[in-house]
Amino acid sequence: MGGPFRAGRFILRRDMADTLIVSVSGLRGVVGTTLTPDVAVRYAAAFAATLPPGPIVIGRDGRTHGPTFAAALREFFTSAGRDVIDCGVAATPTVGVVVREERAAGTITDHSARTI
């Protein structure tokens, strides 16, 4: 297995690198390994199934994988007949304001505090 390794600002045990963590705050994983656009879309599909009609707001931070995940989510939601409001790079509170102002059904964000 080997010892700990650095993933961004976190030090992970080697056995944790192959783990996808699903919690009330969302998904956490290693992008490209346990957390892929396909995994995010499957999670989003389950989330969307619980929502009333209405648009879905997408927001993200500036990490390099953000556009790829946002594009996969946009494609999924629009193919499922949902309108999508893509905030691009936006802070979580800003996304929350957009949800309220647009009376959106829900939101998915990709942020360091909350990963899709």
93-107 confidence digits (pLDDT tens): 999 999 999 999 999
Token pair 């490209």: residue: 32
Task: Establish if 43 belongs to a structural domain.
Answer: yes
Task: Establish if 115 belongs to a structural domain.
Answer: no
Count other C-beta atoms under 10 Å from residue 77's C-beta: 21
Per-residue pLDDT, 108: 92
Contact 82, 107 (CB under 8 A): no
Task: Establish if 73 belongs to a structural domain.
Answer: yes
Number of structural domains in the chain? 1
Q: Could you tell me what percent of the chain has a pLDDT over 90?
A: 54
Task: Establish if 116 belongs to a structural domain.
Answer: no
Residue 48's Cα: distance from chain center in Å?
A: 13
Task: Establish if 100 belongs to a structural domain.
Answer: yes
Task: Establish if 9 belongs to a structural domain.
Answer: yes
Return the CATH number at 77. 3.40.120.10
Per-residue pLDDT, 60: 92
Per-residue pLDDT, 112: 53
Q: Output the six-digit token pair for 76.
A: 């999924």
Q: Which domain holds residue 100?
A: 5-110
Residues annotated as catalytic (active site), given as ranges: 112
